[in-house]
Structure 1
């Protein structure tokens, strides 16, 4: 029964994360990108902090390590996602999800550089190279038109992925004792404030003409369902199965996003981007070959 519940939660988290990219596309019809991101993360942050207050007495940053983790998580991990919102004005939701799927590969690379206990074997280095080859297939920059809107959009989403991954590694490096839901909630509030400040400074404004219902429903979905609920379930998944299996959500999200974007939003399918995604996933497979093989053996063992 526990295994069935874990699979159900894994599937639900994949669905929720997969729908977040199309939901951003819808939200951009009503809100400028950074104000949309700020609205989402303010709502998610308040809900996660409410959960942290209700379940633990340790919900406020206390130590220097706590504050360092909140700062790294807020400015880079959450604040950096603002580039995803800006980039999605110019690319499809599926392309954005595919570029974000580079996160586990980048996590290993940044961990190797910034965390003293991390090691990267030659096979791991090959995996990183393969992952970046997949990104090249998705980006496909045209030297004659590097300022093309689509190329710029892809570059912005990739920049967001780099900043978000760097933020997660720096959070790990801080070794904060603050529980993950509280840490994430505080980081969301900091990141939302960064996005709001930059958005206002660059002249973003919100003017909801007509029925505001769809616009508010989109923010509510992003903030509550694809935000606080999805992250809460992901934290539970991390506790149950560990980071390796939980990170597989990253590689199941793009197909969900591709299907929803194509069927619901009528977004075109980019075959080379799909190939690039498969190459990125292959790079992750090279990086984590031993761990994945061990997990597969553990699940197959009882049935031999």
Structure 2
């Protein structure tokens, strides 16, 4: 029981940190170009991942050309695409709205799997997709009045990039540990973002102090710290239980946007995050109960042994 409670605590902290990346990205967007900020984030995070690999005696895997190609696409979509689109979108929309949209990631990932892999959707997933769409639509219609709908579209594109990252990871033929995968993603992401950053002429721009500190925070706390918390928690609970905690990310983003950025959070934002929470929980609880039923079905029948 204690191990399970510890797992819940670690997963909660990890998702709170994920929510905080939205606020950090909002600060970054006001003082740094997106590719420059992304490259700087990877420069800071990479040494810490390499040290963790050394401490845990993790080894680089032997990969085929196909797997290297998939890893490059993963890094381009999930590492560079997600971060740059998130920062770019937050130039036009609020962190509160971005937090609601980011919360749809589990639903978007499942929808991509249905469209691309042809997976058969459960009724709960279809319900989740409908609820998530209602939540995003609510804030987007509201955003149309203020002109920040374009930012919402960019944030949604960032979520799609992260969903593609998850999908591509399922196509890898070589088993790669999470720590090694994160290190590889950081290295490829750094190389890709650095090339694109040159087009932004970073040496000629004036970086604000707040944006630089936000990048440092993003690189060390949510990226490295969030990784450690998530996998420490995931090791103590089932995968179905861990997936439920992703619902905390939009709540964290909404709360931190109001607390740290003084952004208004009204009925529309609350309705949007409520729909997203219901979508994630409906999908996650369905998976949780299905996993429980499978466990019971495969458990030996003790009653027959005592007759």
TM range (shorter): 0.7 to 0.9
Distance change >3 Å, CA 105–CA 38, structure 1 → 2: same
Deviation at 1:270, TM superposition (A): 4.2
Distance change >3 Å, CA 72–CA 46, structure 1 → 2: farther
Aligned to 2:13: 12
Deviations 1:261-292 (A, max 9, x none): 21222112143132122212323344344334
Deviations 1:61-82 (A, max 9, x none): 5334541442132011112211
In structure 1, list runs of 5 or more residues that go unmatched: 298-304
The alignment's TM-score, normalised by the length of structure 1, stands at: 0.83
Aligned to 2:42: 41
In 1: Cα distance, 2:3 partner to 2:270 partner:
34
Deviation at 1:202, TM superposition (A): 4.5
Aligned length: 291
In 1: Cα distance, 2:123 partner to 2:290 partner:
20
In 1: Cα distance, 2:277 partner to 2:173 partner:
29
Aligned to 2:298: none
RMSD: 2.8
Instruction: Report if aligned partners of 2:244, 2:285 keep a CA contact under 8 Å in 1.
Output: no
Distance change >3 Å, CA 236–CA 67, structure 1 → 2: farther
In 1: Cα distance, 2:259 partner to 2:183 partner:
33
Instruction: Report if aligned partners of 2:90, 2:151 keep a CA contact under 8 Å in 1.
Output: yes
Distance change >3 Å, CA 237–CA 61, structure 1 → 2: farther
Match of 2:251 among 255, 275, 282: 255
Q: How is 1:33-182 mapped onto 2 (pairs within 5 angstroms)?
A: 33-60=34-61, 62-64=63-65, 66-81=67-82, 82-115=84-117, 118-140=119-141, 149-182=147-180
1:278 aligns with 2:274: yes
In structure 2, list runs of 5 or more residues that go unmatched: 294-307
Greater Cα radius of gyration, structure 1 or 2: 2
Deviations 1:195-244 (A, max 9, x none): 333333255554247xx4x5443222111111111112212323332433
SS at match of 1:266: coil
In 2: Cα distance, 1:110 partner to 1:187 partner:
21
In 1: Cα distance, 2:182 partner to 2:290 partner:
30
The alignment's TM-score, normalised by the length of structure 2, stands at: 0.83
In 2: Cα distance, 1:150 partner to 1:135 partner:
13
